[in-house]
Amino acid sequence: MNQLDALKQWTTVVADTGDFRQFAQFQPRDATTNPSLILKAVQKPEYAPLLAQTVSAHAGRPVDEQMDRLLVRFGCEILSIIPGRVSTEVDARLSFDADASVARAERILALYKAEGIPPERVLIKVASTWEGIRAAERLQQRGIRCNMTLLFSFCQAVASGQAKAQLISPFVGRIYDWYKKAAGAAWDEAAMAGANDPGVQSVRRIYDHYKHFGIATEVMGASFRNVGQITALAGCDLLTIAPELMAQLAASSAPLTRALDPQTARALDLEPVRYDEAGFRLALNQDAMATEKLAEGIRVFIADARKLEALIEAR
């Protein structure tokens, strides 16, 4: 059994890409997208027609609507390949506006519905800001399932669980990037690999908290830099993996053991944690890595959304 198949014994494998023709061979259940991945895809010749067709069919409509229609078009193509769910992201410029995030999420879901896609096959990605979490709470109450993205800290995970979000996506690789950069020449790659990787440790802490306290929100590790980060999280509810890393897992027959287990988590001695707005903002502020990576992630997604808009307007 290769490592990808072994991983699927305990963990739902999710494709992390807009390049849907690349991942079908690995048979993931779900798929995730974001503005950066869609921007990358539409610049490839094989996906350029999707952009052209979407703009042509909705010429004259506001550019933000055309953007959502493009994201949904990719989502529909992906859903024709996978049996599960696709995640589609709300514009990152709305990360600090709960009302606008709710309205945009409802529009995205309505566009999917118009294409015959049932709501249970769509996850709406919302940034894990305080306002994003409040938007997700309202959306979940309306039956719209949310994927909390740009999640780097324990407090973001706890607050998302309190809001009963469907799923969270802690960004393993970006946490790793921050600590590696901060350590500089003192970074010891071998010593900080696997279970010692700071991104892996962050997900383990969140997973243990959720399982210990019976929090139903799913944990999906994301943003991986290497296969070792993935294998160190075997047993996590879901892992969203780029096709290149899925290929590496499929090519390896090295033994794989389960690293995360709900029974082990339930046996831990943990203190309950809750956050109100003031406590959440203070905890996030005190975590330099999470504060910096959240702000940076929002800026990057905004920049790529603007590049996508420029491509739409150019047509």
Q: Among all residues, which ones are annotated catalytic?
A: 125
Q: Find residue 291's DSSP bridge partners.
A: none
- Residues ≥6 apart with Cβ < 8 Å to 254: 3
Count of Cβ atoms closer than 10 Å to residue 237 Cβ: 20
Structure tokens at 281: 């903002």
CA distances from 87 to 121, 139, 166, 271 (A): 9, 15, 11, 32
CA distances from 266 to 160, 209, 215, 261 (A): 20, 9, 11, 9
Query: Most distant CA pair in the chain: distance in Å?
Result: 59
128 and 150 Cβ atoms separated by less than 8 Å? yes
